[in-house]
Amino acid sequence: MGRNLKRLVIAFTVSSACYVGTVYWYKQNSNFTFQRSKTKPIARLQSHTNEVQRKPIARVIWEDISKNETLFVGETIRTSANAEATISFLGTNTLIELEPDSMIALEEG
């Protein structure tokens, strides 16, 4: 009986650690989304073909973006080998067309 109890305690400890880690990760990401929503968007992805990704300023992981998503100061946008994208800057209606394998960092000027 003691052997099974030891296994249960270990399993419970590992499960609890995973749960706490998941909750911590979720809170960190939801806080980032809130911070980004405080800033004013400067552009939007008008159109794209194939894989286009963004890397928010406070993150190290690239995330896929889709048509009409808003883009913020400090974000970096990249296209894959067979992708293209058109970015429209809000207020000026300036368009930037990204070719395959390109990257751009958005700054306010």
pLDDT, tens only, 42-93: 999 999 999 999 998 877 889 999 999 999 988 999 999 999 999 999 888 8
Q: What is the pTM of this model?
A: 0.64
CA distances from 24 to 14, 20, 21, 48, 91 (A): 15, 6, 5, 34, 38
Under 8 Å between Cβ of 61 and 25: no
> Rounded distance, CA 95 to CA 43, Å?
9
Q: Which residues pair with 17 in a beta bridge?
A: none
pLDDT, tens only, 91-101: 888 899 999 99
User: Tell me, what DSSP letter sits at residue 104?
Assistant: E
